[in-house]
Structure 1
């Protein structure tokens, strides 16, 4: 009898009531965030098109995205509170996303609970609450869509590894104690200890210590039959199919047939991957406005995606392995062309790790510019989307919608801007530009 509903706070005896038909109702329901179901629907696995290994990886990634997308965990509550969620959403109507759910604490704000009776609902409160949550839900949906797209294309796989049993015994206290003790012997400060831990986590001791890969393996050339067999296994949506039959890598200029090579397991392998290419901003007004909130030297205008071979993509993978902190924008297309060496059909590129490290270091400002561009593009898209949705919902109040969003956006600025309204109109125009580029 100690349980009480997390939303209305009624105990079990207080939630019991008779229905209009004279039936005694005393029911508990499991309430959950339907955004979780939304992700599950987006990432539905076609078991006939993927291998068992791929299913395991997609399922693991899907569960992680579901956890990160939902706003609250599964909760047992009384049936009246669970029904209040559905009834409120029904009356709010079309502006509400079909997979949105109010949390238990949010339901508590628009119900009037009474012992042994159904709740009274305050729909204006529920509608105002939804309006305050709309932006957060939109961001979660955008995040889920982005992650689903990456997972579906095989761009967000996580390779599972098992630690040897003898290593697992020292995973926590022993390893941390040893690291902190060694750091404290020379520089006993919390900052240096944390730096020692970070450096050890990012270190690549022994990785590619010879500087260059050996080219001693003889080159195996696939037959046309081998190529057709491999090509047949890739007849599913993805970069390989989008590239078409006449594709050649824009970096190394090898054809689909020429990028096929023997893997370490002795099987024929080939792959095509997406690679983002960024262009610097040349419009003076855009540069001026971006510089008001960013003081870096590199300002990016736009991004486009090209399709490159697995060996050219592996140069970036190598960079992210041997140069701690290197991200997806660490290398530009011209860098890949310079670092790949002399491309040879049916052979992996011969990489110079020292040259890769130097190039990554030289591109730090470029990476910072790309990071700022991604932040700017995300913000512009977000506010354009909010503005368009609200103008659709309230077509007679477009000016009020604009000024409401302007106030919300400007309140989050670290420093006030001189022409804040003009800057916000420019931001909305940027969001429209990015939308047009995507379509």
Structure 2
């Protein structure tokens, strides 16, 4: 199947060709014709399958066909809501790229930057507005945007928006929209909460699911490296240095953990930067740009970056710490193995995280391969401790465990750390061994 067969305009076909795409992905092939018909739609696909283009292309065409060539002052014709700034920027870039040959205007708004330039742009009116919920409501409260003429609403990564507590903001936005509109809801996973939301929001929606729910791409190889918590940084530095990895996305659970790990990696001679919600938008944009251009080797991120980071052919994703929510594992590792490329996802798992690991394996219905590195075998006498701000027993704990922070890293000036002196004496090559039995049966 080609894009020509989907009924898209010549201008859109030209834009798609410029990006190097010749055949639509499964989600695109199934969704685009339904959206062009004016149907409400629930689209489910694992990340990296072309979900953004599957709604961007038909939305652009629908706006061209609706007759209003120019938006009125302060008005918006199509609204795309996303949970994070990075995802909003990514979607806005796709809108610009695919709509470059059409006389349609687009704009993106999110927090963390000066609101005044956004006000000036919005007062003129815009065909397609991409926004995060909080900043959109800021503009609504200041009367700089009018949503009463929205023809198409897109909720992108709807499950993540609910996870991040945006349900009240979403309902406030919905109350400002006209009853008659086309609504498209896209997400990598569909929770019960999402299904409840769609029952009141969508009218006789078409359902398109192109991958098994909560499944990872088959192009992603997954492995768990059992290791003690205090030696995770050591093992991570060894893996990056000895394999000469040039581009690695590493996930931590907390902002503080991301900052600390980034500093430790730089001390190990591995260039790294952290990206999370406490960073200014300028710092986040700079860190991501440096990572994409290979000016830094490692980007350390919290789960806010699990959605919206679109990096061409990212080869390696590492879970330095497992996420508290199993579904977030799927989104994290989905940053690799995108657009038909193969990827590698590794998880450094300590005894504290065994229950989190079991929850992930239940979700994806797969036992992830365990590979233990000689010299980094976990100490089986160590007892598991509660995870701070996590749920070792699938629910949050109020108390903060003592002595929970990782051990202070050893000084290491080389770009290819080889672990501790003790590990070197035992085996200077640190060869991996397939030994899941010494870890998984605790």
Q: What's the TM-score, normalizing by structure 1?
A: 0.20
Asked which structure has the greater CA Rg, the reply is 1
Q: Which has the higher strand share?
A: 2
Q: What's the TM-score, normalizing by structure 2?
A: 0.20
